[in-house]
Chain A
């Protein structure tokens, strides 16, 4: 069964600090791994899409890593801002059918 697990479930950090969110996946066959940011009351916004051959991908202060051997991905946020407060969702579509499997998300709160 395809699964995507994220940790921690929630995280509180101070503005300006860095943080790392984790995503473990068991999706077969693997196609790509995506990270989304979802603000409260809004639709998700794509941060990164990583394929099997990519180890690292950056989008501004967001850097995603992918380890295809251990089936783990992380999202690192540098110099956090209040606007980073949101839910971060990891998604892995199955390469065969493209049915996406979603993680439950990490709720990040950035305090001033």
Chain B
């Protein structure tokens, strides 16, 4: 089975712009979660989607949003980018229950100038 894929792998944006990141889960997985990883804060949970519905949400401002499509692929959008949004954005997929193993993608490295 192919692993979790994320596109693009690297991205450079300027303050005020918006960005959309994409995640394709492992075939058959219905849950996709998004995380932000920075040197200062470590890994932080953004949100989780299951069957096209947001099931859980972390403590991030409304500038961070996401969605999931019927084929389980997911996108994450960040609007009005700030310098502090520079981070590695990881997505992870799992079959669906909260006790399942999560499989992470390689991440998208976002740099905001």
> How far apart are B95's CB and chain A's nearest CB, in angstroms?
13
By the criterion CB–CB under 8 Å, are B56 and A98 in contact? yes
By the criterion CB–CB under 8 Å, are A49 and B101 in contact? yes
CB within 8 Å of B: which A84-110 residues: 89, 91, 93, 97-100, 102-105
Q: CA A77 – CA B102 in complex, angstroms? A: 22
With CB as the reference atom, state the residue of chain A lying closest to B59.
A99
Of the candidates B44, B90, B98, B106, the one whose C-beta lies within 8 Å of that of A31 is B98
By the criterion CB–CB under 8 Å, are B106 and A43 in contact? yes
A58 an interface residue at 8 Å Cβ cutoff?
no
Q: What residues of chain A lie closer than 8 Å to B43, measured between beta carbons?
A: 44, 89, 91, 102
By the criterion CB–CB under 8 Å, are B45 and A100 in contact? yes
Q: CA A102 – CA B103 in complex, angstroms? A: 16
Q: CA A45 – CA B55 in complex, angstroms? A: 23
Of the candidates B45, B55, B106, the one whose C-beta lies within 8 Å of that of A42 is B106
B16 an interface residue at 8 Å Cβ cutoff?
no
A46 an interface residue at 8 Å Cβ cutoff?
yes
Q: What residues of chain A lie closer than 8 Å to B103, measured between beta carbons?
A: 46
Say whether, besides A43-B90, A43-B106, A43-B107, A99 and B56 are in contact (CB < 8 Å).
yes
What are 21 A-B contacts defined by CB distance under 8 Å? A31-B98, A31-B99, A32-B99, A42-B106, A42-B107, A43-B90, A43-B107, A44-B90, A46-B102, A49-B101, A51-B99, A89-B42, A89-B43, A93-B98, A98-B56, A99-B56, A102-B43, A102-B45, A103-B42, A104-B42, A105-B42
Inter-chain pairs besides A43-B90, A105-B42, 4 sampled, C-beta below 8 Å: A31-B98, A42-B106, A46-B103, A98-B56
